[in-house]
Structure 1
Amino acid sequence: MPFADELISRHTVQSLTHAIRAAAPDADLTALRAAARQIGPLPLRHRADLLRDALLTDLPGDYAALARTVRTARDNAPQFTGWLIWPVTSAVATRAVQEDETASFDDAMALLASLTGRLSSEFAIRTLLRHDLDRALNTIVRDWAGSGDADVRRLASEGTRPYLPWAVRVPQILARAGVTVPILDALYRDESEYVRRSVANHLNDLSRDHPEIVVDTARRWLSSPDTSTERLVRHGLRTLIKRGHLGALELLGFAPAILDVDGPRLDRNVVPLGGSVRLTASIRNTGDSAARLTIDYIVHHRKANGTRTGKTFRLTTRTLAPNERMEVSREHSFRPITTRRYYPGPHAISLQINGVESNRSEFELAPTDTP
C-alpha cells in the first residue's frame, strides 16, 4: 500500500497530462511535464498544489475555457479519475474565484459536484467556501443535500467540516457557530452509511469549539430517530465523551452514579520505555438503582517541559445493578510509535467513569530497560 504522499505520483502526472492533451490538443503542457520532475520530495497537499498551478499555467484564459477542457476530459478520457482529480478540482475552484463572477462560481460548484464521484471534491470546495460562504452553503443545502447521488450528499457534509484532514481551514465556518448545522440536519437520517459517517465526523469536528451546539443538535436528532441515529450520535459525540462532557454523557444515558472505585492499581512502579504496565480496578455500584457506566482510562504523559497531558483510552461500557461489583484490567504499552513521543519521568494513570476522574496512580517511565 503506498504512503499518503505517493497517492499523487509521477504516474498520476502522466495520466493527467494524457487526459488534458486529449481534451485540449493545442495546449502547451510544459508546466505539467515539469511538475513530473518536481513532485518527488513534496508532501501530498503540496503535490496537489503543484499540479493545480501547472494546470492554471498550461490552460490560460477565462474560467469558461478551463471548464470546457475539464468537461471534455471528464466525458472522454477513461483515465480521468482517481487522485489526479484533486488538482483538477482545485484549479477549477481557483480560476472561478480569480474571475469573481457569480456565473463562474455557480458553474464551478456544479462542476465539482459532477467530479466528486471520481475523487471527492472536498478539498477544492474549501476555496469556494472561503470566497463566498453564504452562496456556497445555499447551493449545498438546496441542491447537494437532496441529491440522488450519495457522493454529492457526502460532499455536502465532508467538504464543510470545520477540521477536515489535509484541507485548508475555512475561517468563516470556524467563526460562525453552527452555520453548517442545517446541512447535518438534512443528512443525519441519510440512507447511506457513507454519508452518515461523514455527518458523525462533522459533528465531532464541531464539538471541538461548540460542544453545547453539538449536544443540542444530537438531542434534537434523538427525539426523532431512525434505526441509525443513536449509533451516529455516539460516533459524533466521541470526543466529548472522552473529555467527560456531562451533557453528552447524560444524553447517551450515562448519568452520575454512586460508586466505590478501588484503583487503578498498577503492576509496577517503573516502566521501561518500550515496555508496558497493567492496570486493574474494582468498581462497585453503591447506589440504589442500576448504573449505566462508560469507563475509560487516562494516561497522563510527561511532556518535554515537565508538565503532563492526558490521553484518554477506551475501556468498556457496562450496567451495574445495585451493589454489583466488576473488575477491569488493561495492559498499556509504551512501545514507540510515530504519532507519540515519550519523555522519561513521572507519569500517571487514572480512570474516568461517566466523566468523573478517579485518583491517579503514579509510575516512572524509565529511559532504558530498568528492572
Structure 2
Amino acid sequence: MSEAPAIKEIFNLARLAHIADETCAVYSAFDRQGFMTRASQGLDGLSVMQRLNRVSQSLHAGLPQDYVAALGILYQLAPRLNSAFVSMILPEYVALYGQADFQRSMQALKFFTSFGSSEFAVRHFLRRDFARTIEVMHGWSLDENPHVRRLASEGCRPRLPWSVRLENLMIDPSPVLEILDNLKADDSLYVRKSVANHLNDITKDNPQWVLDQLEAWPLHNRHSAWIARHALRSLIKKGDARALTLMGAGDKALVTLTDLSVSPGSIGLGERIKLSFGLTSTSDKPQRLIIDYAIHYVKKSGGTSAKVFKLKTLELAPGQSVNIRREQQVRDFTTRVHYAGWHAVDVLINGQCLGSSGFDLSE
C-alpha cells in the first residue's frame, strides 16, 4: 500500500503554479516567475504552515505595496483558488501586512473565511489587540453566515492545533463566554464542531468552568446536547464523575462483562487488532452506558502510557445483553511511535475499568 502524500504537499509546485496563474488572471502586472522562484525556494524543507507563510510573503512581493490596492486584488483571487486550505494564504496576508489597518483587516478576514478559514490569521490580531478583536468576534458569532460564526469560535480556541496558544484564555476563558453562549444551539454542524472543540480545549486548563457553563445549558435541545457530549470527551475519557453525570452516566454501571478478547494475541506494526466483549445488564432499571477502551502503549523507556478511545454510548434495558466489537490498526503516527512489548487493553464503562486483556507487539 502506497503512503498518502504529506499534508505539506498541498503547496507543491503544481499548486504554486496554479496560484501564480490565477493571480496573473486578476492582476496582469503580477511577476509570475519572481513569485515561483521565491515561493519554491527551499520548499522541501518547509512544513505546511511555513509553506503557507512563504506563499503569502511571495504574493506580497509581486502585488502593489499599497495595502488597500493589494486587498482589492486578493478579493478577486479568493474564489479562483482550487483548495480551501490554500485559500488560507489570503488571511495570512492580512495577518502579515494589515495589522496597522484594523477595521479593514477585520472585514477582510470575515470575507476570506468563507473560502477556507481565517482561524490562524485572526490570532495575530488577538495577540496584538485582544480587547478590540474579541469584541469584533462577538459580533461574528451572530452573523448569518456559518463560516463567520465558526470563525468566532475557532479563531479564539485557546489551544488551536498548528497555531500559537492564547495564554490569556488558557488562564481565564471568560472573555469567550458570550461567543460560546451565542453558538450553544447553532443549527450548523460545522459551527457546533468548533464550539465542542473549543470547550474541549478549555477543559484542559479550566474543567470546572466548562462544567459550570454546560450545567446551565438547555441540554434538552439536541444541538446543545451534541456540543456538550463532544465537548466533554476528554473529561469522560478520564472518568470525571461530574462530566459523566452531566451525560446521564454518573452511576456505576450494573453489568457483567463476558468473553473479553483481543485478537490476535501477537501482531506486527501495521497490523490490526480486534476487540470484542459482551455486556449484560444486572439492573432492574434502564441505564446509560458510556463505553470506552484504553490501550496502554509501551514507551521507549519501557514504561507504558494509556490512551483512551471512544467506543459507543448506549441505553441498556434491564436484563438486556449486547455484543461490542471494534477493530484498530496499530501503526506509527507523527504524534505516536510504537515500541515492542505487551500492550494491555482495558474496557471502561462509565469511567470504571471492568476488564482487561491485551496483545503483544513484536519488533
Q: TM-score range by the shorter chain?
A: 0.7 to 0.9
- Amino acid of the structure 2 residue aligned with 1:44: V
Q: Tell me if the contact between 2:287 and 2:315 (Cα under 8 Å) persists in the aligned partners.
A: yes
Say which of 208, 211, 214 aligns to 2:207. Answer: 211
Residues 190-239 of structure 1: CA distance to partner in whole angstroms, max 9, x if unpaired? 2322222222222222222222222222222235x534222222222222
Q: Contact 1:257–1:291 at 8 Å: present in 2 too? A: no
Deviates more, 1:182-191 or 1:13-22: 13-22
**Structure with the greater alpha carbon radius of gyration:** 1
Stretches of structure 2 that go unaligned for 5 or more consecutive residues are none
Aligned residues: 356
Per-residue deviation, 1:313: 2.6
Equivalent residues of 1:130, 1:172 under 8 A apart:
no
1:265 counterpart (248, 260, 282):
260
Matches within 5 A, 1:257-336: 257=252, 259-262=254-257, 265-266=260-261, 270-274=265-269, 278-322=274-318, 324=319, 326-330=321-325, 332-333=327-328, 335-336=330-331
Note if contact 1:266-1:279 (Cα within 8 Å) is conserved in structure 2. Answer: yes
In the alignment, which residue of structure 1 is the partner of 2:16?
Answer: 13
Tell whether 2:58 aligns with 1:54. yes
Superposition TM-score, scaled by structure 2 size: 0.84
Query: Which deviates more, 34-43 or 269-278?
Result: 269-278
Structure 1 residues 58 and 254 mapped into 2: Cα distance closer, same or farther (>3 Å)? same
- For structure 1, the 5+ residue unaligned runs are none
1:131-280 equivalences in 2 (<5 Å): 131-142=128-139, 144-222=140-218, 225-257=220-252, 259-262=254-257, 265-266=260-261, 270-274=265-269, 278-280=274-276
C-alpha distance after superposition, 1:60-105 (max 9, x if no partner): 75xxx223222234247863574443223212222233x4xxxx12
Alpha-carbon spacing, 1:332–1:307, altered in 2? closer, same or farther (3 Å)? farther
- Give the secondary-structure state (helix, strand or coil) at the position aligned to 2:300: coil
The amino acid across from 1:234 in the alignment is: R
Classify 1:159/1:272 alpha carbon distance in 2 versus 1 (closer, same or farther; 3 Å).
Answer: same
Taking only the aligned residue pairs, the percentage that are identical comes to 31
The 8 Å contact of residues 295 and 343 in structure 2, kept in 1 or not, is answered as: yes
Question: CA RMSD for the aligned pairs?
Answer: 3.1
Question: Please, what TM-score do these two structures have when normalized by structure 1?
Answer: 0.83
Q: Secondary structure at the match of 1:5?
A: helix
Report SS of the residue matched to 2:236.
Answer: helix
User: Structure 1 CA distance, aligned partners of 2:248 and 2:120?
Assistant: 37
8 A Cα contact 1:86 1:121, kept in partner: yes
Q: Note the C-alpha offset of 1:140.
A: 0.8
CA contact (8 A) 1:73 1:80 kept: no
